[in-house]
Amino acid sequence: MPAEELVRMTGIAKRFGDVLALDHVDFGITGGKVHALLGENGAGKTTLMNVLYGLYRADEGRVEIKGKEMAIRTPRDALRHRIAMVHQHFRLVSNFTSFENILLGTGRGLKFEARAQREKVESIAREYGLSVDLDAKVKALPVGAQQRVEILKVLARDPLVLILDEPTSSLTPQEADVLLGAIKKLAMNGLGVVFITHKVREVMSIADEITVLNGGRVAGRLQVSESGEKRLVELMMGGRGAPPLLQAGPTPARTSAAQGEPALVLTSVSVGSGKGASAVEEVDLAVRHGEILGVAGVSGNGQRELAEAIMCVRRAGSGSIKLDGIELTRLNTKQVISMGVGYIPEDRMGDGILPSMTIAENIVLGREHSPSFSDRFALNRKAMGAAALRGVEDYNIKTTSVEAHAGVLSGGNVQKILIARAFLTQCKFLVAHNPTRGLDIAATDHVLRSLVKQKEGGAGVLLISEDLDELMAVSDRICVLFKGQVMGVVEAGSYDKYEIGAMMAGKKKEASAS
């Protein structure tokens, strides 16, 4: 049976004010194939898919479904044509349970403890290895589990066309592998899949065809079989810059001379999770100045609580957290930031950004009291603008102006704001939680280089990440968290992906024979 073209988009144009987000794009989706949609942050990937899903109305162009022109004006229309989409930012009602979220908008009926539906969801979950607690409230779930709810939600609708907008960006490598396996299986069952990602490895492993967008235009179209990894990296970098740090492999062993003064010292710190059991248990850690300590672990093993306890967003239940000898546990977040601690939080839309404020305001947020941005009474808008402009240029944030609202930015560009904020000044200490999530290759590289620069400037850096490649590329030491406990610490020079992977699954590091 020849593969059937399910969707054809022709000449799609979309304008937001002065920004031409899509410039007459052609795009097709074939049954049984995985179509990777690539491009740097702000290239228009999400916008193109939102047009197909009926969330955005295109200014020009046509959409054909199975050869017939169709007007898709609302997501309802799209769903009727069995097009389903997993959005870049979670689209979940946080006060509802997972199951309630999955049920939303499907079917009618009086009782919503729909037994049949529940069995169906459970069987899909089993088939694709996407286990979630169906009766937990979504806001209590870790990010990875929320992502699985999102995917179950669309699969429960029996889609024919499945759009996945960076579905792996908040998953651990293991979780991502499970999802990639599921996608392969779905494609084998005849679905047409659109897969948006910034990760080369994922494209190589599951995509059949590739479309690269750049500035709202199609910059390239190729078959995976005819392109090598190197060519792909070049395409995704947009032909700019040096080969990325990530591709350079793990950090070499340090010389002992590189060891600085202790910066952050945690002594038997426990942090509650708000659900009775503690999320972080009796953790001892020390990060020196001039050092990047990587924290590896599957998400939901206490990383978020750890970071929030250091930043005093959450109170440590017991233990002591000292920065340069000063106890942090009794301070508030503002005081911690004013001590020169930078913070890149995990949940950026929720915690990190004020969508209705301007980009400039968002970039200097938390530092607005520093003398460089305000005198005694008023904000210095000019200095703020200048600093923001620097951030925008450094990180290649796609925007018309620093006075635009932060909420209009593309997913990756939102991340960049937070990062620009943290790197605005040389920090004394930096807590970075999944700082490269959702960033394109060039921006990821810039972030990693900035981390290294902060470290070389004397900062201690705590890099919490689920991306082992990234951790190994820049960390001087990697500590592995499992169920809130430290499974062990590995030194640069002796990184072994499998050893770390085993520790992430709960195996304690063997004491070295000495």
Partner 1 sequence: MTDLVTDFFRVAVAVSVPYILGGQAMTISGRSGIFLVFNEGVMLASASATFLATFLSGGNIIIGLLAGAAMGGFFGLVMGYFSITLKQNQFVVGLALLVAAVGIANFMYSVFIGVVIKPPQIPTLLPVHIPLLSDIPYLGPVLFSQNLMFYFAVILSILVWAFLYRTRYGLNFRSVGENPRVADSLGINVSLTRYAGAVAGGIVMGIAGGYLPLYFTGTYTPSLVNGRGWIVIALTLFGRWNPIPVMLGALLFAAAEVFGIYGQILNLPVPSQFLLMIPFIVTLAILVQTYRKTELPEGLAKNYDRESAED
Ligand X SMILES: Nc1ncnc2c1ncn2[C@@H]1O[C@H](COP(=O)(O)OP(=O)(O)OP(=O)(O)O)[C@@H](O)[C@H]1O
Q: Any contact of residue 47 with ligand X (CB under 6 A)?
A: yes
* 3-state SS assignment for residue 454: helix
Burial class (CB in 10 A: 0-12, 13-18, 19+), 318: middle
CA angle 497, 343, 174 (to 5 degrees): 25
In the bound state with partner 1, the residue whose beta carbon lies nearer, of 237 and 349, is 349
CA distance 397 to 122: 41
Contact of residue 302 among ligand X, partner 1, Mg ion, none (CB under 5-8 Å per partner type): none
Site pattern 80..119 for partner 1 (x: CB under 8 A): x----x-x-x-xxxxxx---xx-xxxxxxxxxx-x-----
Give the tokens for residue 127: 């088939």
Q: Any contact of residue 43 with ligand X (CB under 6 A)?
A: yes
Contact of residue 268 among ligand X, Mg ion, partner 1, none (CB under 5-8 Å per partner type): none
CA distance 469 to 246: 7
CA distance 48 to 28: 11
- Nearest-approach distance from CB 64 to partner 1, in angstroms: 21
CA distance 29 to 421: 39
- Nearest-approach distance from CB 466 to ligand X, in angstroms: 19
Contact of residue 347 among partner 1, Mg ion, ligand X, none (CB under 5-8 Å per partner type): none
Q: Which residue from 452, 418, 413, 458 is spatially nearest to 435, judged by alpha carbons?
A: 418
- Nearest-approach distance from CB 436 to ligand X, in angstroms: 12
Q: Any contact of residue 217 with partner 1 (CB under 8 A)?
A: no
Question: What would the DSSP string read from start to end of 100-148?
Answer: HHHHTTS---S-SS-HHHHHHHHHHHHHHT----TTSBGGGS-HHHHHH
Q: Any contact of residue 355 with partner 1 (CB under 8 A)?
A: yes
- Nearest-approach distance from CB 85 to partner 1, in angstroms: 7
Instruction: Please say whether the beta carbons of 27 and 12 come within 8 A.
Output: yes
Q: Any contact of residue 21 with ligand X (CB under 6 A)?
A: yes
Residue that is written with structure tokens 């794009």 in the block:
25
Q: CB under 8 A: which stretch of 53-61, 183-191, 311-319, 340-348 binds partner 1? A: 53-61
- Helices 411-422, 381-394: inter-axial angle, 10-degree rounding: 120
Q: CB under 8 A: which stretch of 23-31, 52-60, 119-127, 452-460 binds partner 1? A: 52-60
| Residue numbers 383-412 binding partner 1 by CB under 8 A | 405, 407-409
Contact of residue 21 among Mg ion, ligand X, partner 1, none (CB under 5-8 Å per partner type): ligand X
Q: Any contact of residue 475 with ligand X (CB under 6 A)?
A: no
3-state secondary structure 250-280: CCCCCCHHHCCCEEEEEEEEEEEEEECEEEE
Kindly compute the dihedral angle of the four CA atoms of residues 20, 21, 27, 33, in this order, to the nearest 10 degrees.
Answer: 170
Q: Any contact of residue 297 with Mg ion (CB under 5 A)?
A: no
Q: Of residues 297, 411, 435, 460, which one binds Mg ion by CB under 5 A?
A: 411
In the bound state with partner 1, the residue whose beta carbon lies nearer, of 218 and 414, is 414
Q: Any contact of residue 349 with partner 1 (CB under 8 A)?
A: yes
Contact of residue 225 among partner 1, ligand X, Mg ion, none (CB under 5-8 Å per partner type): none
Site pattern 388..417 for ligand X (x: CB under 6 A): ----------x---------xxxxxx----
Q: Of residues 30, 41, 98, 301, which one binds ligand X by CB under 6 A?
A: 41
- Nearest-approach distance from CB 509 to ligand X, in angstroms: 37
Q: Any contact of residue 16 with ligand X (CB under 6 A)?
A: yes
Question: What would the DSSP string read from start to end of 287-320?
Answer: EETTEEEEEE--TTSSHHHHHHHHTTSS-EEEEE
DSSP state for residue 512 in the 8-state scheme: P
Question: What would the DSSP string read from start to end of 17-77?
Answer: TTEEEEEEEEEEEETT-EEEEE-STTSSHHHHHHHHTTSS--SEEEEEETTEEE---SHHH
Q: Which residue is nearest to ligand X (CB)?
A: 412
Q: Any contact of residue 385 with Mg ion (CB under 5 A)?
A: no
Q: Of residues 57, 66, 231, 453, which one binds partner 1 by CB under 8 A?
A: 57
Q: Which residue from 365, 289, 299 is spatially nearest to 324, judged by alpha carbons?
A: 289
Interacting residues toward partner 1 by CB under 8 A = 53, 55-57, 74-76, 78-80, 85, 87, 89, 91-96, 100-101, 103-112, 114, 153, 349, 355-356, 405, 407-409
Interacting residues toward Mg ion by CB under 5 A = 46, 88, 410-411
Interacting residues toward ligand X by CB under 6 A = 16, 19, 21, 39, 41-47, 88, 398, 408-413, 440
